[in-house]
């Protein structure tokens, strides 16, 4: 039995969970999320106990892996509609900056032209200062994917540490070349 999959997902008051025709829907104060569930996974919504339970039809390898997966996805959906998710990115480098322009995020990170990224629906992006980008939303996957796209525009390099990094991320620095003394 999956250790993750056998645990019920508890949800607080104000959150509504429905399972109908293979679609799991979670509604809460911050919005609504839906997820298709494979037919091999059975979902039971206990309204009185405020819990969702997942079970699988067989012990095949794929069924076992999906059992824990859908339970984790449901937990992420419940947490997203109640508290939401956020990521903070820091931009390091001389002249490197980010700014919001007409629903797009414009990154100036050392290339000849700025990189413009369209902000997906359901995501809010803020730039409290030119070197910090805050990404917020209710869908954990969407927040993580968009922040990874921003970071991939200029990943931090190991010699000087310039680039876009997650807040608190430690960059492993390399010692560069040292000058040899000539005779």
Q: What is the pLDDT of residues 97-149, one digit of tens each?
A: 999 998 899 999 999 999 999 999 999 999 999 999 999 999 999 999 999 99
Element (H, E) at 61: helix 61-82
pLDDT for 175: 87
Gap between the Cα atoms of 116 and 104, Å rounded? 6
| 18 and 33 housed in the same domain | yes
Quote the tokens at residue 2: 């999956």
| 153 and 94 housed in the same domain | yes
Look-up of token digits 């056998």: 6
Gap between the Cα atoms of 100 and 119, Å rounded? 10
| 158 and 94 housed in the same domain | yes
pLDDT for 2: 63
Across all residues in the chain, what is the average pLDDT? 90
Total residue count of the chain as it appears in this document: 183
Q: How many domains does the chain have?
A: 2
pLDDT for 73: 93
Quote the tokens at residue 70: 């859908």
Range of the domain at 98: 85-166
Domain endpoint, select from 36, 55, 82: 82
| 14 and 78 housed in the same domain | yes
Q: What is the pLDDT of residues 144-174, one digit of tens each?
A: 999 999 999 999 999 988 999 999 989 898 8
Q: Confidence class of residue 90 from pLDDT cuts 50, 70 and 90? A: very high
Q: What is the DSSP letter of 79?
A: H
| 89 and 77 housed in the same domain | no
pLDDT for 46: 86
Contact 5, 72 (CB under 8 A): no
More confident residue, 96 or 1: 96
| 60 and 77 housed in the same domain | yes
| 17 and 76 housed in the same domain | yes
Helix (H, G, I), strand (E, B) or coil at 73: helix
Helix (H, G, I), strand (E, B) or coil at 34: strand
Q: Which residues of 30-48 are buried (b: 16+ CB within 10 A; e: fewer)?
A: eeebeeebeeebebebeee
pLDDT for 5: 79
35 within domain boundaries: yes
Q: What is the pLDDT of residues 30-83, one digit of tens each?
A: 999 999 999 888 998 887 778 999 998 888 888 888 898 999 999 999 999 999
pLDDT for 183: 56
129 within domain boundaries: yes
pLDDT for 141: 95
| 22 and 62 housed in the same domain | yes
Q: What is the pLDDT of residues 16-29, one digit of tens each?
A: 999 998 899 999 99
155 within domain boundaries: yes
| Numbers of helices and strands, H then E, in the chain | 2, 13
| 123 and 68 housed in the same domain | no
- pLDDT over 90 (residue 1): no
Q: Which domain CATH number covers 60?
A: 3.90.930.12
Domain endpoint, select from 61, 82, 103: 82
121 within domain boundaries: yes
| 103 and 115 housed in the same domain | yes
Contact 57, 42 (CB under 8 A): yes
| 78 and 139 housed in the same domain | no
- CA distances 60 to 40, 66, 69, 73, 147, Å, are 10, 10, 14, 20, 35
């Amino acid at each position: 039995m999956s250790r993750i999959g056998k645990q019920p997902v508890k949800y607080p008051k104000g959150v509504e969970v429905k399972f109908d025709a293979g679609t799991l829907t979670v509604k809460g104060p911050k919005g609504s999320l839906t997820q298709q569930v494979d037919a091999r996974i059975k979902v039971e919504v206990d309204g009185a106990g405020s819990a969702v339970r997942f079970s699988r039809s067989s012990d095949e390898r794929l069924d076992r892996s999906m059992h824990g997966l859908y339970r984790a996805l449901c937990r992420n959906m419940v947490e997203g509609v109640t508290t939401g998710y956020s990521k903070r990115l820091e931009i390091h480098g001389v002249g490197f900056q980010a700014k919001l322009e007409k629903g797009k995020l414009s990154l100036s990170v050392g290339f000849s032209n700025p990189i413009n990224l369209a902000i997906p629906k359901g995501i809010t992006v803020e730039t409290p200062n030119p070197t910090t980008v805050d990404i917020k939303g209710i869908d954990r996957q969407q927040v993580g994917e968009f922040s990874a796209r921003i970071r991939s525009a200029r990943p931090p390099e190991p010699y000087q540490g310039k680039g876009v990094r997650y807040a608190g991320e430690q960059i492993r620095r390399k010692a560069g070349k040292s000058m040899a003394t000539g005779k």
